[in-house]
Amino acid sequence: MSFTFIDLFAGIGGFHSALKNFGGRAVFVSEIDDAAKKIYRSNWIKNDELIISGDIKPLTEGPEVQVPTHNVLTGGFPCQPFSKSGNQRGVNEARGTLFFNILKVIEDKKPELVLLENVRNLVGPKHLSDYKKMIRLLRQLGYVVSAEPTIISPHEIPEELGGSPQHRERVFIGAIKMENIDSGMYSNLGPLLKRKPFPDINEWSLKEFLERKIADHEKIDLNNNLSQSQLQALEAWNDFLKIYRKNNRQNLPGFPLWSEFWQARNKFTIARSTPIWKKTFIENNNTFYLNNRKWIDNWRKSYSFESLIPSYKKFEWQARGESDIFNCLIQFRPSGIRVKNPNYVPAFVALTQTPILGWKKRPLSIAEAKLLQGFPDTFSFGDQNEKASFKQIGNAVHAGVARLVFQALLKRAIKIDQPWATSLDSSSFFLDNVPLADETSLF
């Protein structure tokens, strides 16, 4: 049995990719960005008459909600804090936010399942009260939803269940419509998935993952190499690492190395207004320099180090026992060059900080980025420019994570005997492999 879904704030279709695998059919899509709409259509609805709508607001704030009936509602909605004014006003309490528009659709169309995604900060100190209001308003509409958020990153999930080597924590809200049952009886449910639900997951190897997953036909821009100044900086710091290892038994220190303070202590002053954390870094750097002064001075001269731009003169080592920078993952940041273990990439959200694959001496490609976001290798950006593609993939819902969390939501719906879920043909799912957080304690 197939099911229908709507895709709100759809981006380029992370949720669509996840639900299509289980027989889901999109009956409504809303995305305000024209470039993202084009990519979405070319990949997911090529031969369909389905129109991708723009702004969801005018479709939900009039006398009628202009959205078709559907079984599942999904949305990677932008985080907008609620107004401080008003309280206990039902759905209208969220008016002025995009969550209000989601609630209007839910109130009118009553989908069987709701799955929403947002940034980790949604449940941080700044927005926690807003998150709690969201949960309360969903419950008022008759939905079972945990007060505890499901927080998960793709690197915490085995590859066979949709994981990938990217550290990208996101919050998921999963809600289940209940009929003729007080949804409040399930108010003590925990999150869909507990934190780090697969404790035995193996350490990722980013290099192995990409070499195995990238198909031969994928286009990699071999001209998108590092600049001469970037290579010069990396070669200098790589030599620095090797010389340091010859002169010291321990790894490089964990604090950022700021070479501007590698000089005699009487050559610079620390202003009284300097924050304590920065003062500590400066003092640590100066001590580090004084303990290694002889070889550092010779190293700087041999590499014309002073000719590098200021940010290239700062170095942050997070690769523990690695012996060569070019075996690692690298980022050129305004705060300096960061080098980390080649196990997983940080969440990529901006082209200026796209991770550098040290063993390739080039930035991560679009083809590689889409795989790290859980999209299939058949997904294409066409001839769209790289900057726009990176922006879209960085904003996308991770398709593999969405696939796992949706299965957890469906499994919970089955466990609490929701009629629609129990009647769904789940043969295409892998529910036995989904470790529902409170499966044994509450059911």
Closest CA to 73 of 421, 428, 397, 406: 406
pLDDT digits (tens, 9 = 90+) for 258-302: 999 999 988 889 999 999 999 999 999 999 999 999 999 999 888
Checking if the pLDDT of 399 tops 90, the result is: yes
What is the predicted pLDDT for the residue at 86?
47
Give the Cα-Cα-Cα angle 76, 77, 80 (nearest 5 degrees): 150
pLDDT digits (tens, 9 = 90+) for 19-38: 998 999 999 999 999 999 99
CA 295 from centroid of its chain's CA atoms: 41
SS3 for 130?
helix
State the Cα–Cα distance between residues 179 and 418, nearest whole angstrom.
Answer: 8
Given 27, 32, 79, 243, which residue is catalytic?
79
Q: State pTM to two decimals.
A: 0.90
State the Cα–Cα distance between residues 293 and 326, nearest whole angstrom.
Answer: 25
Longest dimension (CA), the chain: 79
Checking if the pLDDT of 217 tops 50, the result is: no
How many CA atoms lie within 13 Å of 193's alpha carbon, on the beta-carbon side?
A: 30
Checking if the pLDDT of 88 tops 60, the result is: no
SS3 for 173?
strand
Name the H helices within 164-227: 206-213
Domain ranges of the chain: 3-204+397-442, 228-364
Mean pLDDT lowest for which of 65-69, 162-166, 184-188, 382-386? 184-188
C-alpha separations of 11 from 3, 24, 78, 395, 397 in Å = 21, 18, 11, 7, 8
Residue 328 among the catalytic residues: no
Checking if the pLDDT of 82 tops 80, the result is: no
N-to-C CA span, the chain: 25
Q: Which CATH class is domain 3-204+397-442?
A: alpha beta
Secondary structure, 3-state, 30-99: ECCCHHHHHHHHHHHCCCCCCCEECCCHHHHCCCCCCCCCCCEEEECCCCCCCCCCCCCCHHHHHCCCHH
